A and B are shown apart, each in its own frame.
Chain A
Amino acid sequence: MKVDQLSIFLENRAGRLAEVTRILSEAGVNIRALSLADTSDFGILRLIVSDFTKAKDTLKEAGFTVGRTSVVAVEVSDVPGGLNAILTMLQESGINVEYMYAFVQQSGNSAVLIFRFDRTDQGIELLHKNNIATIPGDTLYAM
């Protein structure tokens, strides 16, 4: 039920992000979701892509430092309060969200939330116990 997220170290310098997207585009890899966190010196680019292994290998080859992180994807109704219900539940059980990002699906009326929990397995267990479905990696990559 986990999703592979690709994390890439980026120096804060003009053109670095474009270099990543160029490499992925040339490799025919599609970006499903993206989030960028930054400090004054560097940034971390987090991606969910159509082909994790291919993306990882081509970026590594180009000299980027990359990592794999297990994140959890959840589909919620695109209505007010959808995210809040989940966060409240997590808070009550003491699971910490290290970071998260979201995207809205073009076709449906639902949003996809990507979570990075401090305890991933417990997070998934909690979601399932409360009948909240997680999206398997393969489904997400092919969306």
Chain B
Amino acid sequence: MIYDIKNETLPREDLEKLQLRRLQALCERVYATVPFYKKSFDEKGVKPQDIKSLKDLTRLPFTVKQDLRDQYPFGLFSVPKDQIVRIHSSSGTTGTATVVGYTKRDIQNWGELMARAFMAAGASASDTVHNSYGYGLFTGGLGVHYGAETLGATVVPISGGATRRQVALLKDFAPDVICATPSYALFLAETGKEMGIDIKDLPLRVGIFGAEPWTNEMRLEIEQKLGIKAIDIYGLSEIMGPGVAIECLEAQDGLHIQEDHFLAETINPETGEPVGPGEEGELVFTTLTKEGIPLIRYRTRDLTSLNTAPCKCGRTTARMKRISGRSDDMLIIRGVNVFPSQIESILIKTEGLTPHYQLIVDRQANLDTLEVHVEVNESIFSDEIKNLQRVESKVMKNIKEFLGVTAKVKLVSPKEIERSTGKAKRIIDKRKEG
């Protein structure tokens, strides 16, 4: 089933015409309204009127996450503040938050795109949607919520946490669709088992999963343990939120990008040069219709490849492969973005040291775990156990406070952390090996 037949099945040629028209209007608009873009266009020696075909896209400057941080909070907004009806933000109590704003029209578009996503996943207006994504500054909860309402479905806005209650409501309200992080879905299944409720036996039919990296093996496990179809959804707050791309139930083979709203490219992360279709590269988005905070060639750091071949579901939009990794070292831990540099700055702030450290990420009982190994050096070393334990708990507390992530902090001997010849290996992500 397709929600917006006209726009989701446009012949490639018509789609590209629409994209070009929107891109040209976008360039005019950001050049005139966002000083940051006027400056970056000028620096690249490109004027909005130079964009004559989609090929000219590569003449435009990139936007990176740091630009959003530098312009914190509202510097990249393209409309006056009174037209912004909602603000979302990444976790950024360390002062590195990225803030995005939506106009009324943006919220409406987002709802439409999420409604498309729901329908691609096999949901319909008569379904009930159990929404376990967190509500708040994180885009997951509200994004899904408005999409389900736009579709005309019934939403259960349970948000995250209170897992036993969630299981009870899955049984009592008998939803057809669940939206959650993949790891949380498995956690629900396990909690259900403990409570004597096998989610497999409930009417639940489809799950829409995103906000953290997952593998195909995990998909199979979810499908088997919950007795549902597991659909991969992709989004990021800088571009919109959930619903930027979604798998279709028919093929479950790549995520359809909503190309009439988002112009997607893949580039070589080192050189910035475009890579060909089917080749892996960094995903780059240009928001074609966004009013609040339109972005030109935003580098997502996510690695994938694009496929423009028609899909058996009937959609003509390009499909992106499941994200295979990141071109930087960002970690997603239980839906929270964590950069090693953030941990580093916490370590430095905590004890005034520049330590060697390593992050060990794993998944235990289907939940992400983070262990921070910190080398003991002479400035924190003490002959008393309690002093060292105080260091551990202080770091733990600060990570929780600044990043919102619970980490286990472990002091290790200096030689314990492997020294590589070049860049230190900061991350061991065991989730990828599973």
The answer to whether the Cβ of B377 comes within 8 Å of any Cβ in the partner chain is yes
| B residues near A41, Cβ cutoff 8 Å | 410-411
The answer to whether the Cβ of B382 comes within 8 Å of any Cβ in the partner chain is yes
B408 to chain A, nearest CB (A): 9
| B residues near A66, Cβ cutoff 8 Å | 378, 381
Q: Which residues of B come within 8 Å of A, CB atoms?
A: 375-378, 381-385, 388-389, 410-416
A65 touches B383 (CB 8 A): no
| A residues near B410, Cβ cutoff 8 Å | 41
The answer to whether the Cβ of A52 comes within 8 Å of any Cβ in the partner chain is no
B378 touches A44 (CB 8 A): no
The answer to whether the Cβ of A26 comes within 8 Å of any Cβ in the partner chain is no
A3 to chain B, nearest CB (A): 13
| A residues near B414, Cβ cutoff 8 Å | 63-65
Instruction: Given contacts A11-B416, A39-B385, list 7 more A-B pairs with CB under 8 A.
Output: A9-B381, A42-B411, A44-B388, A63-B415, A65-B375, A65-B377, A65-B414
Q: Which residue of A lies closest to B414 (CB)?
A: A63
Among A38, A44, A65, A69, the most chain B Cβ lie within 10 Å of the Cβ of: A65
B415 touches A7 (CB 8 A): no
A48-68 to B contact mask, C-beta < 8 Å, 1/0: 000000000000000111110
A128 to chain B, nearest CB (A): 24
A99 to chain B, nearest CB (A): 7
The answer to whether the Cβ of A5 comes within 8 Å of any Cβ in the partner chain is yes
Q: Which residue of A lies closest to B410 (CB)?
A: A41
Can you name 7 A-B pairs with beta carbons within 8 Å? A38-B385, A39-B385, A41-B410, A42-B376, A42-B388, A66-B378, A66-B381
B413 to chain A, nearest CB (A): 5
Q: Which residue of B lies closest to A10 (CB)?
A: B413
Bound: A100/B172 CA distance, A:
61
B389 to chain A, nearest CB (A): 7
B412 touches A11 (CB 8 A): yes
B413 touches A64 (CB 8 A): yes
Given A9-B376, A66-B378, check contact A44 B416 (CB 8 Å). no
| B residues near A9, Cβ cutoff 8 Å | 376, 381, 388, 411, 413
Interface of chain B, main secondary structure: mixed
Q: Which residue of B lies closest to A69 (CB)?
A: B383
Q: Which residue of B lies closest to A41 (CB)?
A: B410
Among B378, B410, B413, the most chain A Cβ lie within 10 Å of the Cβ of: B413
Within 8 A of B (CB), among A64-90: 64-67, 69
| B residues near A18, Cβ cutoff 8 Å | none
For the complex, count residues of A whose C-beta is within 8 A of B: 22
Q: Which residue of B lies closest to A9 (CB)?
A: B376
A65 touches B413 (CB 8 A): yes
A116 touches B381 (CB 8 A): no
The answer to whether the Cβ of A14 comes within 8 Å of any Cβ in the partner chain is no
| A residues near B383, Cβ cutoff 8 Å | 5, 7, 44, 46, 67, 69, 116
Bound: A16/B412 CA distance, A:
12
B262 to chain A, nearest CB (A): 47
Given A9-B376, A65-B376, check contact A37 B413 (CB 8 Å). no
Bound: A37/B383 CA distance, A:
9
A65 touches B384 (CB 8 A): no
The 8 closest A-B pairs by CB, nearest first: A7-B383, A63-B415, A69-B383, A65-B376, A9-B376, A11-B413, A65-B381, A67-B381
B389 touches A39 (CB 8 A): yes
Bound: A116/B385 CA distance, A:
13
The answer to whether the Cβ of A98 comes within 8 Å of any Cβ in the partner chain is yes
Bound: A67/B381 CA distance, A:
7
Bound: A44/B387 CA distance, A:
11
| A residues near B384, Cβ cutoff 8 Å | 44, 98-99, 116
| B residues near A16, Cβ cutoff 8 Å | 413
Bound: A9/B381 CA distance, A:
8
Among B384, B410, B415, the most chain A Cβ lie within 10 Å of the Cβ of: B384
| B residues near A39, Cβ cutoff 8 Å | 385, 389
B416 to chain A, nearest CB (A): 6
Bound: A33/B155 CA distance, A:
69
Bound: A46/B381 CA distance, A:
13
| B residues near A37, Cβ cutoff 8 Å | 385
A14 to chain B, nearest CB (A): 14
B100 to chain A, nearest CB (A): 41
B340 to chain A, nearest CB (A): 21
A121 to chain B, nearest CB (A): 17
| B residues near A67, Cβ cutoff 8 Å | 378, 381-383
Bound: A99/B389 CA distance, A:
16
